[in-house]
A = this chain, B = another copy of it.
């Protein structure tokens, strides 16, 4: 195996593939990056067994020579070391040569590194994905969907299936739900040519990593779901994630159908007030703030911490209808939900101080956030 490559492109590819490599892996070969070079180009693969990321670099881009292959081949090189070396090489041309016994030479300018590689045949094979049952979503929309749901997954492993986001498809709608059993985030997306009846749980950790790789463009991301794996495919990257096993609970029954108090309010002002109130709520460890309707045109946010002090603040509302209400909830859950709705005017619908309440954007019915209150009154 021997080839030259432009350092900057190799570094871009490594930056992506590295995201899947974990220093905590118990499988030694997965501390490495696999390089496969053929006349078609260089494929880089990184994996932590749950997530696998592949990037492909073509020999020519926009008429510019990127790779010059003298001899094809494959090798696994220690990921962190390879990345650091490539980052620090003195010139923009890198030569990589593998000789007997996986001895690898990396040359650039007058600098020569000699690394001991590993046999690429020992690197785990990727599962084959059939080509049917695909659909696609623009990259920026996919990022939004992830951002609006993934924060609500459970962080504890006591019910592993809740650490993922539930994706279900109907004829033309993808429904994404996450819950940690104290709050729930649901986002619906209209998608053309959707394979119906899909029902998978994607690990929250994988979606967070995917979100870092996706760009804010409207380029389509192709998505292929199978019973064990999901593949997200962009122009540059193949992102594979295993799926979570187990049945996701039916969450539709949690969402109330009728409401006793409706409050429409500027989401940004409410977020800032909750943020201030949470300064004192946080000190008390439980992070609970109180929310109280004051007549038809304002609400009061308050919290206290016996040893430090207390805070209260009134905010004007756009509209308040229905019964008077005093309710307490986690400042963190409320702030997460308001951030997901992203500063728009929100409608908050309550069914009483001890019942779950929901938040929606007044502009957009696609997103729904549900929060369980805390008993303090």
Q: Which residues of A contact B (CB under 8 A)?
A: 78, 81, 84-85, 88-90, 104, 109-116, 272-273, 275-276, 279-280, 283, 307-315
Q: Inside 8 A of A272's CB, which chain B residues have their CB?
A: 88, 90
Q: Is the CB of B111 within 8 A of A273?
A: yes
Q: Is the CB of A311 within 8 A of B279?
A: no
Q: Is the CB of A311 within 8 A of B112?
A: yes
- A-B pairs with beta carbons under 8 Å apart, 10 shown: A78-B308, A84-B279, A89-B276, A90-B273, A111-B273, A111-B311, A113-B276, A114-B310, A114-B311, A115-B309
Q: A313-B110, A313-B111, A315-B110 are in contact. Are A116 and B308 (CB under 8 A)?
A: yes
Q: Is the CB of B275 within 8 A of A88?
A: yes
Q: Is the CB of A307 within 8 A of B111?
A: no
Q: Inside 8 A of A312's CB, which chain B residues have their CB?
A: 111-112
How many monomers of this protein are in the complex? 2
Could you tell me the distance between the alpha carbons of A312 and B110 in the complex, rounded to whole angstroms? 8
Q: Is the CB of B81 within 8 A of A113?
A: no
Could you tell me the distance between the alpha carbons of A275 and B310 in the complex, rounded to whole angstroms? 53
Q: Is the CB of A81 within 8 A of B279?
A: yes
Given contacts A104-B309, A110-B313, A110-B314, 5 further A-B contacts (CB under 8 A): A81-B280, A90-B272, A111-B276, A112-B311, A113-B311
Q: Which of B112, B279, B309 contacts A313 (CB 8 A)?
A: B112
CB closest chain-B residue, reference A315: B110
Q: Inside 8 A of A111's CB, which chain B residues have their CB?
A: 273, 276, 311-313
Could you tell me the distance between the alpha carbons of A104 and B272 in the complex, rounded to whole angstroms? 22
Q: Inside 8 A of A311's CB, which chain B residues have their CB?
A: 111-114
Q: Which of B81, B283, B310 contacts A81 (CB 8 A)?
A: B283
Q: Is the CB of B314 within 8 A of A279?
A: no
Q: Inside 8 A of A115's CB, which chain B residues have their CB?
A: 308-309
Q: Inside 8 A of A313's CB, which chain B residues have their CB?
A: 90, 109-112
Could you tell me the distance between the alpha carbons of A355 and B245 in the complex, rounded to whole angstroms? 64
Could you tell me the distance between the alpha carbons of A114 and B104 in the complex, rounded to whole angstroms? 66
